[in-house]
Amino acid sequence: MGVNLVPQGSDVRNLLRGYGFDLTVTLTLTAGTVTQNSAVVSGINTLGLFPNMIVSGPGIQPGTFISAINVIDPVNGQITLDVIAMANGSNVSLVFTYYPACGDDWLANERDNFIIPWITRVTRQVFTSIETVTEYYDGTGGSILALRRRPIQQLLAIWYTNVDSNLYYLTPSAIQVVAEEGLLKAKANFNESTYIPIFYRGERNVVVQYTVGYAQMPNDVYQAVTCLMAERALAHQASKTGGGSGLGTQGYSRSFGDRGKYGNRRLELKNEAMAILNQYTTRSGA
């Protein structure tokens, strides 16, 4: 895993070396004004530019990319970079680089709006942040309660819904937290609710508030997300070049088999991702 909290386009290109996703196109513009300690570049033709294009040139820090297109104009356009420039300059020669097969902006959109939300739904886990959740559970009548999410970072509060909280209550210190398994266990010396059992049986009668998730995505989940991003990139590319079997129209004479172009590689990537994510999937919890 790299220094990033989530996979980047470079991770996908490294995984798909040989598929053409690392090929670049450059656009050189000899215009524009760069101001030291400012991320804004003005007086530039922005008609052929778009966010996430890599920018290089005088005063531009390595690895800089376009954060936003502020003004679309063939002469007096304006863009914002993701980092500030380190020197002043006017009519500077700026080089813009992008990946025509599949851009970083497209990959980031797939990752943030489809892949990571889907993983969160399937696994019931949050891999990009620590979140506070409040959930209702059916009391088991015993001393163990399995929560829907894991790992538990901190148990904040737990209470009953159908009894007087002034008479019967629970405190986090009376509960043993098995963080990685998402379990709450009543301690052996528990002595607070004298007249009713801990997690006493009922429907949605126990409320648990806790923090859950990961401050940084685990390495194997990072790999799973990268695999799913790569699978979507191959599907995106295949949709532009044809696929399926028995295609005879001019320009589509090659047969790619029943699964279409890149079908086998896409299936391999999906299977690798699911093998990783299955171990994180939480199937218990009322």
- Whose tokens are 């670049």? That residue is 24
Q: By the 8 A CB rule, do 209 and 159 touch? A: no
Q: Give the model confidence (pLDDT) of 53-97 as tens digits.
A: 999 999 899 989 999 999 999 999 999 999 999 989 888 899 999
The four Cα atoms 241, 247, 252, 253 give a dihedral, to 10 degrees, of 140
In this structure, are strands 40-44 and 183-186 parallel, antiparallel, or unpaired? Answer: unpaired
**Dist CA 33 CA 158 (whole Å):** 59
Q: Give the model confidence (pLDDT) of 24-47 as tens digits.
A: 999 999 878 999 999 999 999 999
Whether the CA torsion 145, 149, 155, 161 is positive or negative: it is negative
**Dist CA 181 CA 175 (whole Å):** 14
**What pLDDT score was predicted for residue 15?**
96
* Phi, psi torsion values for 199, nearest 5 degrees: 50, 45
Domains defined for the chain, CATH in brackets? 24-98 (2.40.30), 105-124+217-278 (no CATH), 130-213 (no CATH)
Nearest to 45 by CA among 67, 64, 28, 24: 28
Q: Give the model confidence (pLDDT) of 162-184 as tens digits.
A: 776 666 667 788 788 999 889 99
Q: By the 8 A CB rule, do 97 and 56 touch? A: yes
Q: In this structure, which amino acid lies at residue 26?
A: T
Q: Give the model confidence (pLDDT) of 110-162 as tens digits.
A: 999 999 999 999 998 899 999 999 999 998 888 889 999 889 999 999 888 87
Q: By the 8 A CB rule, do 69 and 39 touch? A: no
